[in-house]
Amino acid sequence: MDVIFANLDLWGEAIKNTLLVFFGGGAIALVLGIIVGAMRVSPVPIARAIGTVYVNIVRNTPLTLVFFFFVLGYPALGLPRMSLVTLGIIAIGIYTATYVAEVLRAGINTVPVGQAEAARAIGLPFGQVMTLVVLPQAFRSVVPPMMSVFIALLKNTTVAAGFSISELAALRATINDAAGRPGSPMEVLLWVAVIFVAMVMVLSLIQNRLEKRWRIVR
């Protein structure tokens, strides 16, 4: 346990940044994914085309290259400066939004077409049809795959370690380079794995709770 208690400051900073990247990236992915998913099923051809192009380009680009653009390329454009953590949040959020959009699009396709047609027949515009009729049902049907996307997002936060963002995956090098810090690289990696397993178990518990709650509602 010395590797934990003798390096509490480093562990605290790493866990904080990991959670920041996860929750910040998750918020961006959820909001942007809902927008893009709605565009993918929109009756407006231009909206569908934009959503398709965005998903196909970003989803087929390796996450490492997306991080390269935001963490290394963004400052070179002369735009307002942001912290590395903020740039990492944006990068992983924009990338994960494509998977959220596709999962949500699959959920939208499970909603009977007649319900959307009935909503349009009483005069509801597309936006209200989606928010009041389609999306609430779509979210209930995509809880397991959506949670899988967020579990993948949590694990993808380790990519940030390669771009000078002090999160859990960077601890091995940080503790190893710090003078007088006890703990071998293998010990650090094992504890990092334990923490990630614990966080994934929490997400799985949330998934089970949501499935049970929404199963009763339906």
Residue 178 CA to residue 184 CA, distance in Å, equals: 12
Q: Does domain 2-217 have CATH number 3.40.50.720?
A: no
Residue 207: half-sphere exposure toward Cβ, Cα within 13 Å: 17
State which amino acid sits at residue 151.
I
Residue 39 CA to residue 33 CA, distance in Å, equals: 10
Q: Along the 218 residues of the chain, how does pLDDT read in single tens digits?
A: 666 666 667 778 888 888 998 999 999 999 999 999 888 888 889 999 999 999 999 999 998 899 888 887 887 777 778 888 888 899 999 999 999 999 988 888 888 878 878 888 888 887 788 888 888 888 888 888 889 999 999 988 888 776 666 667 666 666 655 545 555 667 777 888 888 899 999 999 988 888 777 664 44
pTM for the model stands at 0.82
